[in-house]
Amino acid sequence: MDAELRKRLKVYRAIDNNHRLNILTTLFDEPDIAFNDLARKTEIERGLLAYHMGVLKDVGLVESEYERRSKKSSKYRLTNEGIEILKEFKLDEISTKKREG
Amino acid sequence: MFKSLQEARKSIQEKRRELERRVGETSIIVVLLGVGNKGLERRRNLDEKLEEVGILSLVPEDDFAPDVAPSLTEEAILERADVDLIFINVESWGSATEFGQFHDKRDIAPKLRVLTPYKYHPIYGSSTSYLTDLYLTHTVKYGHVYAYDNSSRSAFPTSEKIVITIATRYRRLVALGKI
C-alpha cells in the first residue's frame, strides 16, 4: 500500500476521537495557545491532553514550540495539513459558528 | 454544513470505514514504554519502523508535552486514552515498579504487551526474582509476556521483531473485525 494511503489512515484514526476534534477546533480559533490554556478551554485533564497532543503531532496536524525561558510552557498551532483536514470535514465552519454564537 | 462536532465525527467515521474497506487495512495507536539511554534509542528506532508501516507510534519522552509530569501522562494513557497496545520493556527498577502498579488493573492489562530479557521470562528463563514471579502471575492471568534477546546469541527474537510482529498482526485483526 502506498505511503500516502497509510498516512491518510493514520490521520483518520487520529481525528476519529471527540477530544482531538475539540482540540483541533480550539486551535483553529486560537493559534499559538499555551498548553495550560488549551487544557482549560477543552476541559481535558492535562495528562490526557498531553497524550492527545502527541497523537495530533505524530500525524502532522499540530506543531508546537516549547519555551524554556519564561514559564516553560508549550504552545500549539495547527499545521497547514491540520487546517486542510478541518476544512475537508467543515470543522472550520463549526469553529466560526462557535465564535459568532 | 455540520451543526456539531458529533455530525462531523460521523462523517469522519464514514470516510474512515470506506477507506479501510477499500484498502483492507486500518491504523492503530501504540505506546512504547521503557527506560532512557540505550532503551530510549532503541524505542526511537522502533518508533520509526512502526511509522513506516503505518502504525501510529508514540514514545512518551519525545511525543508528550513536557508541561505535564510523565507519571501523570502515563496514568492517563494507561487508564483513559484510546491506545490500542502498550508495549513495556521492563529494564529497570523504575519500570518494574510501574509494571507492578498497573499490571493487574482491568482497564490496562488487556492492552499491555510485556517484553522481558529471556533470562527473566517466567517460563523460558531461570530467574527466581520477584519480577519474574510477577511476570508469571501476569502470564497466567492475561498472557502477553514475551521473551527477547537483543544480543542475537540465542534463538529468541529481538524486542524489535516482537513489537513489529505483534503490532502488525493486531492491526490486521482489527481491520478484519476480529478484534
Task: Give A8-58 as a DSSP string.
Answer: HHHHHHHHSSHHHHHHHHHHHHSTTEEHHHHHHHHT--HHHHHHHHHHHHH
| Residue reference for cell 493487574 | B104
Taking only the tens place, the pLDDT of each residue in A73-87 is: 789 999 999 999 999
Rounded CA separation B36/B6 (Å):
40
Q: What is the DSSP letter of B24?
A: T
Residue A71 forms contact with B (CB below 8 Å): no
- Domain presence at residue B18: no
Q: Is ipTM > 0.85 here?
A: yes
> Within 13 Å, how many C-alpha atoms sit on residue B10's CB side?
6
In sequence order, the β-bridge partners of residue B58 are: B31
- Domain assignment present for residue B167? The answer is yes
- Average pLDDT of A81-101? 77
Q: Which residues of B touch A74 (CB under 8 A)?
A: 65-67
Nearest to A21 among B9, B63, B80 (CB): B9
Among positive and negative, which fits the CA dihedral B86, B90, B96, B100? positive
The answer to whether position B32 is within a domain reads yes
Q: What is the pLDDT of residue A95?
A: 62
Give one DSSP letter per residue of B47-105, joined into a string: HHHHHHTT-EEE-HHHHS-TTS-HHHHHHHHHHHS--SEEEEE--SHHHHHHHHHHTT-
Please choose, from the candidates A32, A49, A29, the residue with its C-alpha nearest in 3D space to the C-alpha of residue A40. A49
What domain range includes position A66?
Answer: 3-100
Instruction: Give the global pTM.
Output: 0.90
pLDDT band at A101 (very low <50, low <70, confident <90, very high): very low
Give average pLDDT by consecutive 10-residue segment, chain B, 179 residues: 77 94 93 82 94 92 86 81 91 75 83 93 92 91 94 93 97 92
Domain that holds residue B149: 28-175
Could you tell me the strand order of the sheet in which A62-67 lies? Answer: A33-34, A73-78, A62-67
- Can you give the pLDDT at residue A62? 97
Is the CB of residue B73 less than 8 Å away from at least one CB of chain A? yes
**Residue B4 falls within a domain, yes or no?**
no
Count of Cβ atoms closer than 10 Å to residue B152 Cβ: 9
Please give the residue of chain A at the shortest CA–CA distance from B82.
Answer: A17
Q: Count of CB atoms within 10 A of residue A43's CB?
A: 9
How deeply is A100 buried, as exposed, middle or buried, from its count of CB atoms within 10 A (0-12, 13-18, 19+)? Answer: exposed
Q: What cell does A73 get? A: 510552557
Q: What is the total count of domains within chain A?
A: 1
Quick check: A1 and B23 in contact, CB under 8 A?
yes
Report yes or no: A33 and A26 within 8 Å, Cβ to Cβ: yes
Mutate to test the interface with A, among B1, B10, B27, B107 (most CBs of A within 10 A): B27
Query: pLDDT at position B91, please?
Result: 73
The answer to the question of residue B142 being in a domain is yes
Predicted local confidence at residue B75, as pLDDT: 80
Which one has a higher pLDDT value, B67 or A67?
B67
Q: What percentage of chain A reaches a pLDDT higher than 90?
A: 71
Whether residue B137 lies inside any domain: the answer is yes
pLDDT of residue B150: 92
Q: Report the CATH number at residue A26.
A: 1.10.10.10
B16 touches chain A (CB under 8 A): yes
B9 domain-assigned = no
Q: How much is the pLDDT for A70?
A: 57
Is B44 part of the contact surface with chain A (CB cutoff 8 Å)?
no
d(CA B13, CA B11) in angstroms, rounded, equals 5
Q: How far apart are CA A55 and CA A41, in angstroms?
A: 19
Let me know: does B175 contact B167? Beta carbons within 8 Å: no
CB A72 to CB B54 under 8 A?
Answer: no
Q: Which residues contact A92 (CB under 8 A, 6 or more apart)?
A: A28, A83, A86
Give the domain CATH number at B127. Answer: 3.40.50.2300
Greater pLDDT, B61 or A69: B61
B26 vs A: CB within 8 A: yes
Let me know the angle formed at the C-alpha of A85 by A26 and A95, rounded to the nearest 5 degrees: 30
Question: Residue A59 pLDDT more than 70?
Answer: yes
Q: Choose the mutation target among A6, A9, A70, A95 for the interface with B, i.e. most B CBs under 10 Å.
A: A9
Whether the per-residue pLDDT at A89 is higher than 60: the answer is yes
Q: How many distinct structural domains can be found in chain B?
A: 1
Q: Is A64 on the interface with B (CB under 8 A)?
A: yes
